Structure 1
Amino acid sequence: MTDCIFCKIIAGEIPSTTIYEDEKVKAFLDISQATKGHTLVIPKKHIANIFEYDEKLAADVFARIPKIARAIKASDPKIQGMNIVNNNGEVAYQTVFHSHIHLIPRYNNEDGFSMTFQDNTEKNTPESLQEIGANISEKIED
């Protein structure tokens, strides 16, 4: 896709700081650097989001995440953890519509990065959770 910024990065039309690349994926530093070492891992095949992955592409991309994450962690002894984030769709804060996984090193609770998960425990019952789970389970395709 010629107007995709990530496809242009893969093609070498836009410079990037590549930290890993093979025939299936490219990993490069996010220009925004939410924290030092913030890396994006992208499939070289243009797909918009997680909903377009098949099993083979998912295996190719996600199998590489741990070794890239370990390399990032090993690069700085101050790294204490890592958020792995994948936004899918505009409502989920996806801004570049070429699938990408953020590897965001965490240094401490004051490193400037945050995520918030709302606690909706009081809004659910065991029965409503069973109903939600059953609805999802019946949609899983083999």
Structure 2
Amino acid sequence: MLKIDIKKFEDLTPKELYAILRLRSEVFVVEQNCVYQDLDDKDVLALHVIGFKKNTVVAYTRVFKPGDYFSEASIGRVVVKANERQYGYGREIMAASIKAVENLFHTTTIHLSAQCYLQKFYNSLGFEQIGEEYLEDGIPHIGMVKK
């Protein structure tokens, strides 16, 4: 079970921010062999949902209120450390993120941009595909919405 914290950007400690950016880089840049600009100036708008295991960041998402990323509330940068994926932390961090959107932004409509291979995972959380498949940073994605 993860210890989950939710923080605004300005409340992140330098150590937490470093751990989050390291995890995002490990997975999205190195593991997925994708060169892209992860630091997109949106982190300052987001709430950061951080999953800790023994004081180590192993799972993470960032969530946005409606209008800050998409017109609906949104969840992005969903990531779990490679050697921790077998424990269900993806489901756990997403459940906490969905709950945060509902409780803090008072909406149940959530938009995300999913890597296509994760469609079934997001379907199991109540998200449905909208629109056609598209490439984002060279990786097939689909838009998905949970109402």
TM-score range, shorter chain: 0.3 to 0.5
Q: TM-score, normalised by structure 1?
A: 0.42
Q: Which has the higher contact order (CA 8 A, sep 6+)?
A: 1
